[in-house]
Structure 1
């Protein structure tokens, strides 16, 4: 009985200690990230560029200035419509580049007992892609204050099928399609970002891969330890730029902190091992990341129990660069 009582007391003390550690971790991470909005400049000139995307019957990757702002790799022939902010890929005012990469849809299959996704042989005739980019100013409560008008409106070209008389994708039948162009953005800021970063393509691929994996494994261990302080410090430079690009105010800063703790600080998180991945370059070779060969997303992910005690998961994307004159990799987005 004494042994049971001692064990119970030890368990209670352990739980209390863990709860206290989590609370302190949350508070310190909050302190690190709580003043992002105070460094935001030109708030009265703010303009948020929003991309409205419609796709059907294909997979897609949208890049702004060679940085991925939206990816979709899934199965099915249905249509999907979404709207996303793209300012974090816009580093300075002036001419910006856009690129749409189109791939065949994927079918879910099982190979040697492992569920995987395999792309179809080609992009099909019923595939559709549309994108619009518009400048918007938001009020502090999130309502739209002003429309600055569309700076881009693109539809993948269609042709009429001579047999059926129906429209079909002009470039159907290919395994890959790419459309690109430019648009003008009048943002009032200038971010360092990766403008002056090292070109990582000059590094021997296997050596670079080892360094990238080392960074991922470091973050993975911090996730396992729920070390929000180290994660917040590692992301601080990137988040300062994102706060400026998205014109954080006190309210949006607090929302970000809540999201940060919820995303990176799940309790009882089970971080999965890194496997089956490849290097992927962005930012004209100045940014590198890891992409799962199976799911075309980050291979860093974890499972957890949500509020309803149901199984859920979260994927952690990391975009790394090496500032000019440095060899070490850092998180830039």
Structure 2
């Protein structure tokens, strides 16, 4: 949770992460068919009461297979003079909009669906007013600097169950360093407002799941109609959350939880904690959902996944800086000690190939 120095709300990211567990993609939900629940005149308490959390957790746990060795893959990221997003197979796995560097490696198995080549993409942005905010002086930086750099290490642990130490168990698969211009020795993206680069590595995992790959490329649809359909779907989801409809929401969440649990070989204890991270906020009373405005459309999963996100303050200078690069799906609520907070949720949508019909937008939440 981040405190706004100028006062007002304190905005917190609810995530795959977007929780700072670095699992931003863990806010992925599922299945639009259940939106029909909106028409029910069911009592809010009944809707929550009809959802059996223990059975739900047991069902997810029953789908997890275990293997003689359970390999895990991680990224260790260090940056200088930039903020960034990092994606694996075009799914967001980490973002850092501060000057801080994180020593902790980020698990990426939930973005690896099967063995073979895996794609890593990083997006670099200028540091803006971060120096001014940190040290009380300095200029606003609107382009990437000459000495911008990022280093990404891909790490494999052969068996997470026997992991003991970095020295003994972590194997460096690949180390990538951002490039400098051969003639000037300056960062190749120097002077740009944005820089993106992609590289690959090979992973070997004992599982194979479909995930979000069985979905259509949404970039090929009528973009105006698609955008309107996404906004309307977000509004329907707002109604489910306002109604505290745990049964419908958690049913939609199931395929995401299943993917994470299978790819990370999780036990029931972890699954319970993961599920509760999303279940408990459903019960927050009097959620005040904010209008879905000032957003931009973003694609992930090679066009198979779409979401609405607030732009950066560089893209929209008059935007409330507390909304910069946050989900457009969020609400204000009061804590028990009567403080105002905001909770952002990344709602990512897709349309499965077998549900696609011309002129219709049969969304599911990205798996």
Q: What interval of TM-score do these two structures reach, taking the shorter chain for normalisation?
A: 0.7 to 0.9
Task: Tell me which protein shows more strand as a share of its residues.
Answer: 1
Please give the residue correspondences for 1:181-192 in structure 2 after superposition, counting only pairs within 5 Å: 181-192=199-210
Q: How many residues align?
A: 297
Higher RCO (Cα < 8 Å, 6 or more apart): 2
User: For the Cα contact (< 8 Å) 1:34–1:257, is it kept in 2?
Assistant: no
Q: Specify the alignment match of 1:104 in structure 2.
A: 126
Paired with 1:37 and 1:233, the residues of 2 have a C-alpha distance of 15
Please give the residue correspondences for 1:127-206 in structure 2 after superposition, counting only pairs within 5 Å: 127-136=148-157, 137-139=159-161, 147=169, 149-158=171-180, 169-206=187-224
Is structure 2 residue 301 aligned with structure 1 residue 292? Answer: no
Paired with 2:239 and 2:326, the residues of 1 have a C-alpha distance of 20
Paired with 1:143 and 1:262, the residues of 2 have a C-alpha distance of 33
The equivalent position to 1:65 in structure 2, one of 67, 85, 89, is 89
Please give the residue correspondences for 1:1-333 in structure 2 after superposition, counting only pairs within 5 Å: 24=49, 27-73=51-97, 78-81=99-102, 82-107=104-129, 120-136=141-157, 137-139=159-161, 147=169, 149-158=171-180, 169-294=187-312, 295-306=324-335, 309-327=338-356, 328-333=362-367
Paired with 2:97 and 2:272, the residues of 1 have a C-alpha distance of 32
SS at match of 2:122: strand
Paired with 2:332 and 2:218, the residues of 1 have a C-alpha distance of 32
- Structure 2 gaps, min length 5: 1-42, 131-139, 313-323, 357-361
Paired with 2:293 and 2:274, the residues of 1 have a C-alpha distance of 30
Of the two, which has the highest radius of gyration? Answer: 1
Using the size of structure 2 for normalisation, the TM-score is: 0.72
**Change beyond 3 A, Cα 1:160–1:209:** closer
User: For the Cα contact (< 8 Å) 2:330–2:344, is it kept in 1?
Assistant: yes
Structure 1 residue 205: Cα displacement: 0.2
User: For the Cα contact (< 8 Å) 2:47–2:245, is it kept in 1?
Assistant: no
Show CA shifts across 1:83-115 (max 9, x none): 32211211111111111111112338xxxxxxx
Which runs of structure 1 show a deviation greater than 6 angstroms over 4 or more consecutive aligned residues? 142-146, 159-162
Paired with 1:135 and 1:37, the residues of 2 have a C-alpha distance of 24
SS at match of 2:212: coil
Superposition RMSD on alpha carbons, in Å? 3.0
Structure 1 residue 80: Cα displacement: 2.3
- Structure 1 gaps, min length 5: 1-17, 109-118
**Change beyond 3 A, Cα 1:293–1:245:** same
Structure 1 residue 201: Cα displacement: 1.2
User: For the Cα contact (< 8 Å) 1:90–1:96, is it kept in 2?
Assistant: yes
